[in-house]
């Protein structure tokens, strides 16, 4: 017998009510299964969307430049700022902390409000000489300081200072600034800024100046005693300066008052010989009467020569 026919025969014997109930039950189970699957898919989709939204809104830190940083310049901490922003907007090579940037050299120019990234920084493994600390056109010059004139050792590389000269003494002492807002590039033999460093007494300071200021500083080193004053790291205020030679009194004789001229000592008299054969008799400038010239007479007796001198009338 055909199996399909048997099934149909068997189904034909099932009462219609029972068959309808069975079909409805199967439909309900199928609908419930589909609904559960849809709910599970929706929950998974919602979870993925929520995770993506959280990822987009998640905050991270990036280092920004707060002012323009020229190419080749050592980056200082006052030129940097850490800011929070969505992680999705932070470049992969961005730097998250200022401490990782301060003291490094800018490989390229960095504009203000730009994110500082790894490719903006020169490699730390590149060996650079001390001259790399100087900008084009600058000169390094060193001068001596002590514990008092050097701000007790609180000056560090990258500090900004004013340089003052003192001349004279006692009540005639004069003090004036000869250079202002000068960058220190080395303290003693140290030219790298040490984070959280304490005072380090030293006997000399090296600064970066232009050639004309180097001349002014050399004259001040030779002619005066130098002191330095330390600036706030954000203070760039101008300061009037002088040449050290202007601190010395220079009054020309032709501008002296008449009474001052009278007080000048008279020049000493100059002795002059009157006659080569009479070195015992000398006259001076200012004599009221000059001696009369003398007359020489040669007298020979055989090979003997005698000279007779007589005054001329």
CB 263 within 8 A of CB 202: no
User: Does the structure show a pLDDT above 50 at 288?
Assistant: no
Whether 114 is covered by a domain: the verdict is: yes
Whether 256 is covered by a domain: the verdict is: no
CB 142 within 8 A of CB 205: yes
Answer yes or no: do 243 and 140 share one domain.
Answer: yes
pLDDT tens-digit map of 194-238? 666 667 788 999 999 999 999 999 999 999 999 999 999 889 999
Is this model's pTM higher than 0.75 or not?
Answer: no
Domain CATH for 81: 3.90.1210.10
- Residue 274 φ then ψ, to 5°: -90, -35
pLDDT tens-digit map of 71-90? 888 899 899 999 998 888 88
Answer yes or no: do 142 and 210 share one domain.
Answer: yes
Helices and strands in the chain, H and E counts: 4, 11
Answer yes or no: do 189 and 103 share one domain.
Answer: no
Whether 306 is covered by a domain: the verdict is: yes
Whether 12 is covered by a domain: the verdict is: yes
Q: Please, is 118 exposed, middle or buried when counting C-beta atoms within 10 Å of its C-beta (0-12, 13-18, 19+)?
A: middle
Whether 260 is covered by a domain: the verdict is: no
Find the distance separating the first CA and the last CA of the chain, reported in whole Å.
192
- What sign results for the dihedral spanned by CA atoms 141, 144, 149, 155? positive
Answer yes or no: do 242 and 135 share one domain.
Answer: yes
Whether 21 is covered by a domain: the verdict is: yes
Answer yes or no: do 146 and 238 share one domain.
Answer: yes
Answer yes or no: do 85 and 191 share one domain.
Answer: no
**DSSP symbols for 209-270:** E-HHHHHHHHHHHHHSEEEEEEPPTT---------GGGGS----GGGS-HHHHHHSPPPPPP
Length of the chain: 313
pLDDT tens-digit map of 259-270? 555 666 666 665
SS3 call for 282: strand
Residue 313: predicted pLDDT? 57
Whether 76 is covered by a domain: the verdict is: yes
Whether 285 is covered by a domain: the verdict is: yes
Domain of 84, in residue numbers: 60-120
Cα(280)–Cα(59) distance, integer angstroms: 109
| Number of domains the chain contains | 4
Cα(141)–Cα(36) distance, integer angstroms: 82
Q: Which of 179, 226, 221, 184 lies closest to 205, judged by CA?
A: 184
Q: Which of 137, 139, 142 lies closest to 206, judged by CA?
A: 142
Answer yes or no: do 81 and 172 share one domain.
Answer: no
Confidence bin at 6 (pLDDT 50/70/90): very low
């Amino acid at each position: 017998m055909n199996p399909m026919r048997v099934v149909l025969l068997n189904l034909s014997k099932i009462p219609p009510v029972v068959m309808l109930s069975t079909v409805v039950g199967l439909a309900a189970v199928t609908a419930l299964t589909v609904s559960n699957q849809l709910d599970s898919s929706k929950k998974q989709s919602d979870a993925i969307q929520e995770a993506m939204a959280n990822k987009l809104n998640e905050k991270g830190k990036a280092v920004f430049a707060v002012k323009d940083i020229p190419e080749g310049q050592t980056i200082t901490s006052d030129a940097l700022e850490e800011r929070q922003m969505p992680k999705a907007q932070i470049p992969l090579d961005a730097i998250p902390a200022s401490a990782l940037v301060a003291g490094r050299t800018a490989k390229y120019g960095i504009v203000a409000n730009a994110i500082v990234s790894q490719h903006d920084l020169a490699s730390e493994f590149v060996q650079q000489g001390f001259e790399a600390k100087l900008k084009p056109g600058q000169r390094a010059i060193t001068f001596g300081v002590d514990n008092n004139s050097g701000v007790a050792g609180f000056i560090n590389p990258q500090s900004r200072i004013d340089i003052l000269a003192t001349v004279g003494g006692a009540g005639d002492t004069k003090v004036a600034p000869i250079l202002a807002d000068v960058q220190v590039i080395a303290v003693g033999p140290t030219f790298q800024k040490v984070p959280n460093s304490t005072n380090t007494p030293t006997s000399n300071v090296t600064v970066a100046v232009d050639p004309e200021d180097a001349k002014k500083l050399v004259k001040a080193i030779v002619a005066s005693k130098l002191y330095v004053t330390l600036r706030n790291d954000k203070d760039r205020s101008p300061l009037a300066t002088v040449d050290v030679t202007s601190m010395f009194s220079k009054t020309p004789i032709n501008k002296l008052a008449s009474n001052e001229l009278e007080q000048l000592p008279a020049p000493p008299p100059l002795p002059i010989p009157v006659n080569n054969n009479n070195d015992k008799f000398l006259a001076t400038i200012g004599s009221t009467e000059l001696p009369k010239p003398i007359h020489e007479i040669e007298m020979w007796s055989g090979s003997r020569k005698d000279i007779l001198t007589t005054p001329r009338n």
